Amino acid sequence: MDFFGFILKKGHIKRTILKGVYEENLKMVGEGYGYHKKQRFVTTLMMLGSMALLTLTIVYVWHHSSFYQNPFSQYKKLNLSNSRLEIQKNNPDASKFQVKSLTPSQYNSFLNNLNTPLSQIFGLKVKTIIIDPGHGGKDPGAVGKLGTLEKDITLDIASKLKKRLTKYQKYEILMTRETDTHLSLEDRINFANSKRADIYISIHVNYIPSKPSNIIETYYFGPNTDKKTLLLVEKENKGTQYTMSDFQEIIQKIGNTVKTQESNLLAQCIQKSLYYNIKKHNKNSEDWGVRKAPFMVLLGVNIPSVLSEVTCLSNTLEEKKLNQEQYREEIAQFLEEGIVVYLNQKNNN
CATH number for 267: 3.40.630.40
Of 13, 34, 63, the position where a domain reaches its end is: 63
Together in a domain, 148 and 289: yes
Together in a domain, 47 and 178: no
Q: What SS3 state is found at 18?
A: helix
- Is 116 a member of any domain? no
Together in a domain, 38 and 133: no
- What is the C-alpha to C-alpha distance for residues 265 and 45, in angstroms, rounded to an integer? 93
pLDDT higher than 90, residue 68? no
pLDDT higher than 80, residue 101? no
**How many structural domains is the chain composed of?**
2
Q: What is the dihedral of CA 131, 132, 133, 136, to 10 degrees?
A: 150
Together in a domain, 193 and 315: yes
CB contact set of 344 (below 8 Å; sequence gap of 6+): none
Together in a domain, 192 and 58: no
| Structural domain containing residue 23 | 3-63
pLDDT higher than 50, residue 56? yes
pLDDT higher than 90, residue 201? yes
- What is the C-alpha to C-alpha distance for residues 177 and 156, in angstroms, rounded to an integer? 11
Residue 276 confidence (pLDDT): 96
How confident is residue 296, by pLDDT bands cut at 50, 70 and 90?
confident
Average pLDDT over residues 345-349: 65
Together in a domain, 140 and 239: yes
Average pLDDT over residues 152-162: 98
CB contact set of 279 (below 8 Å; sequence gap of 6+): 285, 287
Q: Which of 14-18, 260-264, 343-347 has the lowest mean pLDDT?
A: 14-18
Sort 203 into a burial class: Cβ within 10 Å, 0-12 / 13-18 / 19+: buried
Residue 211 confidence (pLDDT): 81
- Is 117 a member of any domain? no
- Is 276 a member of any domain? yes
Together in a domain, 53 and 191: no
CB contact set of 96 (below 8 Å; sequence gap of 6+): none
- What is the C-alpha to C-alpha distance for residues 270 and 335, in angstroms, rounded to an integer? 6
Q: Which of 55-64, 92-101, 149-158, 233-242 has the lowest mean pLDDT?
A: 92-101
- Is 71 a member of any domain? no
- Is 230 a member of any domain? yes
Helices (H), the chain: 3-29, 37-63, 104-112, 118-121, 150-166, 185-194, 227-237, 247-251, 257-281, 296-300, 316-322, 325-346
Together in a domain, 138 and 219: yes
- What is the C-alpha to C-alpha distance for residues 254 and 93, in angstroms, rounded to an integer? 43
Together in a domain, 191 and 317: yes
Sort 183 into a burial class: Cβ within 10 Å, 0-12 / 13-18 / 19+: buried
- What is the C-alpha to C-alpha distance for residues 113 and 129, in angstroms, rounded to an integer? 28
**305 against 60, higher pLDDT:** 305
Residue 38 confidence (pLDDT): 55
Q: What SS3 state is found at 207?
A: coil
- What is the C-alpha to C-alpha distance for residues 164 and 159, in angstroms, rounded to an integer? 9
How confident is residue 25, by pLDDT bands cut at 50, 70 and 90?
low
Of 13, 44, 63, the position where a domain reaches its end is: 63
Together in a domain, 49 and 161: no
